[in-house]
């Protein structure tokens, strides 16, 4: 399975990192070894001193497709949940001016915790879903999918121009504002429409 990440998909997050708004989605891929399931703890990697949380809506591809028309894109994902796109910000910031890829700062082991996934039928409007991340009980990030620059159906269609989407692939759809560092001992809890789906520790 593939894990797609979308960078800079919320205006307020672009501002906080002083990045430019993209004309097209910024796409990266994490390997399957990045996945953490069942609220397994996240082990802080020794190669970074500045790992940031990025809470994101995750959609799961439900059937194979390529060159999908945006009109039909909704038929190609069947589940939705929450993920953390952990980012070694120190390494990413060092790589950026040199235009080096994000494979290490975004793809390292355990960098993609993902929650239990819920059927899309539970969400009448995919572009109006509230979600939130708390660290040690304090709200750090709050978002709504209406604030995405590139909407979910567009992202599915766009990705399928370049990559065959397969059942089980995941798309991390971008993070709202409020990203920040985590440290050993932190407890991260994330909810979608007030339903807590993620609850794990940094060790």
Site residues, Mg ion (CB under 5 A): 54, 85, 175
| Residue least distant from Mg ion (Cβ) | 85
Q: What residues contact residue 96 under an 8 Å CB cut-off, 6+ apart?
A: none
Least gap, CB of 147 to Mg ion (angstroms): 14
**For residues 165 and 155, what is the distance between their CA atoms, to the nearest angstrom?**
12
Q: Give least dist CB 69 to Mg ion, A.
A: 26
Question: Residue 181 is encoded by which pair of tokens?
Answer: 């560092």
Report whether 195 contacts 117 (CB < 8 A).
no
CB nearer to Mg ion: pick between 65 and 172: 172
Between 10 and 77, CB nearer to Mg ion: 10
Question: What DSSP line would sit under 117-149, residue for residue?
Answer: -EEGGG-S-TTS-EEEEEETTEEEEEEEGGGBS
- Measured from the CB atom, the residue of 52 and 79 that comes closer to Mg ion is 52
* Shortest separation between residue 103's beta carbon and Mg ion, angstroms: 14
Q: Work out how close the CB of 88 gets to Mg ion at its nearest, in angstroms, rounded to a whole number.
A: 12
- CA nearest neighbour of 180 among 51, 56, 82, 57: 51
């Amino acid at each position: 399975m593939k894990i797609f990440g979308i960078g800079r998909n919320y205006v307020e997050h672009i501002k906080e990192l002083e990045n430019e708004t993209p004309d097209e989605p910024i796409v990266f891929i994490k390997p399957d070894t990045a996945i953490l399931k069942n609220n397994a703890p996240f082990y802080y990697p020794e190669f970074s001193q500045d790992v940031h949380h990025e809470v994101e809506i995750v959609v799961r591809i439900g059937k194979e497709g390529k060159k999908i028309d945006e009109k039909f894109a909704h038929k190609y994902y069947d589940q939705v949940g929450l993920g953390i796109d952990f980012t070694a910000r120190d390494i990413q910031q060092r790589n950026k001016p040199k235009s080096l890829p994000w494979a290490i700062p975004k793809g390292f082991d355990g960098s993609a915790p993902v929650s239990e996934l819920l059927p899309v039928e539970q969400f009448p409007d995919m572009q109006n879903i509230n979600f939130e991340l708390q660290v040690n009980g304090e709200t750090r990030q709050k978002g709504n999918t209406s604030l995405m620059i590139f909407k979910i159906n567009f992202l599915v269609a766009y990705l399928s121009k370049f990559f065959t989407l397969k059942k089980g692939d995941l798309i991390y759809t971008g993070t709202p504002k409020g990203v920040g560092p985590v440290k050993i001992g932190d407890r991260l809890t994330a909810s979608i429409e007030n339903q807590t789906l993620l609850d794990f520790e940094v060790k």
